[in-house]
Homo-oligomer: A and B are copies of this chain.
Amino acid sequence: MALTVSQVARLAKISIRALHHYDELGLLCPSDRSEAGYRLYSQADLQKLQQVLFFKELGFPLEDIRRILGDPTFDLRTALRMQRQLLTERAARLDALVHAVDTALDALEKGTHVDKEAMFEAFGDFDPSKYEEEAKQRWGDTEAYKESARRTARYKKEDWKRIKEEGDALFQALADLLAAGTSAASASAMDLAEAHRQYLGKWFYACPPAMHRGLGEMYVADTRFTENIDKVRPGLSLFLRDSFAANAERQGAADAPCG
């Protein structure tokens, strides 16, 4: 039943080296080894590999995949939403590129003598003056604009981390309240709950108070969430549920379910 590296590699259409790499990272360690030290993969290993490849296709870095698969309470929902967003953006971009290539090919096949400059007119995506105007419209020609222009490049790469940190900070702040014995229905707790709700809306999806309350319910109902939230501080999931609910009440939420 146990498969060797080359067999697994052929099945999954990846390289042997990739399997070695996943082993090194602790991402997918074969569940057995032969006497001679050969890697032996079980059916369960294959299933895990399947999951690894899924997330890889979605564009997750391997280190994240390791954590995702190792940590069953990872926030799949928000991660998938972000990834969906990313994928659709990439798809739109690809569509645009295919279009640009078609235009270029058309021109080539008709005129034969199309010079490259003309080709790029079709792909009119880099007119400096246009960019500058757009940029000024957005931020004005201020110091803030200069600063912003400089930082946006970094943002792209660090989005994930920043967003995660922002969320973690909110949870931590709520955990601190819990530790201090503050009530989940206190103004400070509700304010943080509201901040968390807005945080979700800002980065992931519109989350009306009723849905937020539902999310809190899920935190205690679903042990996968509960366990991990309580790692920050025991009892935090309950505290979150209550503060989310209190805040939802304050915001005048009806008794709508989450979803």
Which positions in A face B, CB cutoff 8 Å?
Answer: 9-15, 46-47, 49-51, 53-54, 57-58, 76-77, 80-81, 83-84, 87-88, 90-91, 93-95, 97-98, 100-102, 104-105, 108-110, 112-113, 116-117, 120, 123, 126, 128, 131-132, 135, 149-150, 152-153, 218, 221-222, 258-259
Contact = CB atoms under 8 A, between A and B. Distances in A.
Nearest to A110: B259
Contacts of A101: 58, 80, 83-84, 87
Contacts of A102: 84
A53 B187 CA distance: 52
A97 B58 contact: yes
Nearest to A218: B112
Quick one: copies of this chain in the complex?
2
Nearest to A100: B54
The binding surface of chain A is classed by DSSP as: helix
30 contacts: A9-B153, A10-B135, A10-B149, A10-B150, A11-B132, A12-B126, A13-B152, A13-B153, A47-B117, A53-B126, A54-B100, A54-B120, A57-B97, A58-B97, A58-B101, A80-B104, A81-B105, A84-B98, A84-B101, A84-B105, A87-B97, A87-B98, A87-B101, A88-B94, A88-B98, A91-B95, A110-B259, A112-B222, A112-B258, A113-B222
Nearest to A88: B98
